[in-house]
Amino acid sequence: MSMTQTQEKKPGNLLTSNDIFLFIPNLIGYSRVFSAILSLFLMKNHPIYCTIVYSISCLLDAGDGFAARKYNQTSRFGAVLDMVTDRCTTSALICYLCNALPQFMIFFQLLTSLDLASHYMHMYATVISGGSSHKNITKESSWLLNLYYTNKKVLFTACLFNELFYLALYLREFDHLPTIFNVKCATILVFITLPLFIFKQFTNIVQLKRAAVLLADIDCDERNSIKSS
């Protein structure tokens, strides 16, 4: 046995769960969580600071993926941390909007339910079917989801405009913010971001449907294999 082989088998060279927790992209993920929580404390009375901190949390989402690829530190924990942070951050902002805009509460509740259900079912279906990542979608399975998850520009832009739409609705509730021709800048931003916001919701619907079909197919295969045995 060579010296290199001996060194590779030493227990000290094996990764532990603590090593995974300290991966660079996961450290960035913790920063996202901290920024998101901080934005909650600023949300009621400090809209500008809240928007800046909330935006930092969202923009770091691109940073952790870049770091994971650059340093070869992708992990299942990191993937779940990333998705859970995304869902919790957006849901927290929508909770505020439900209070600020109670007339649209049902609308916000449906959007939150769609977002959580589609991503949970999608990740669960991916794990059950043996997929290595929820972002690995073939064109044959769904050309739209393949475009959404494999084209980083599409993914980044859709997620960015989705968050900007909610932030714009949030900023509209503060009268002291800038206007253009007596129209709130936040209102203008709502209409600018609306098309891609709708695209993101449609993608969530497609994702939910695909996950449901995939899970049902797995159920069929398992039951059919039992009957044929």
Residue-range domain boundaries for the chain: 17-218
Strand partners, 179: 184
Query: For residue 61, what are the CA distances in angstroms to 104, 114, 139?
Result: 28, 21, 25
Catalytic residue among 61, 64, 86, 115: 86
Helix, strand, coil distribution of the chain in percent, nearest 5: 80, 0, 20
The pLDDT value recorded for residue 92 is 96
Closest CA to 204 of 133, 113, 80: 113
pLDDT in tens, the chain (229 residues): 443 444 444 455 788 999 999 999 999 999 999 999 999 999 999 999 999 999 999 999 888 888 998 999 999 899 899 999 999 999 999 999 999 999 999 999 999 999 999 999 999 998 888 765 566 676 667 888 888 888 889 989 999 999 999 999 999 999 888 888 888 999 999 999 999 999 999 999 999 999 999 999 999 999 998 888 7
Taken as a whole, the chain contains a residue count of 229
Active site residue 86: yes
The predicted model scores a pTM of: 0.86
Give just the sign of the alpha carbon dihedral 53, 54, 55, 60.
positive
- Contact 149/155 with Cβ under 8 angstroms? yes
Helix axis angle, 76-100 to 105-128, nearest 10°: 170
The pLDDT value recorded for residue 137 is 72
The pLDDT value recorded for residue 176 is 83
The pLDDT value recorded for residue 11 is 55
Closest CA to 197 of 79, 90, 55, 85: 90
The pLDDT value recorded for residue 131 is 64
Report the topology of domain 17-218.
Four Helix Bundle (Hemerythrin (Met), subunit A) (1.20.120)
The pLDDT value recorded for residue 208 is 95
- Contact 204/112 with Cβ under 8 angstroms? no
CA angle 62, 65, 70 (to 5 degrees): 120
The pLDDT value recorded for residue 6 is 41
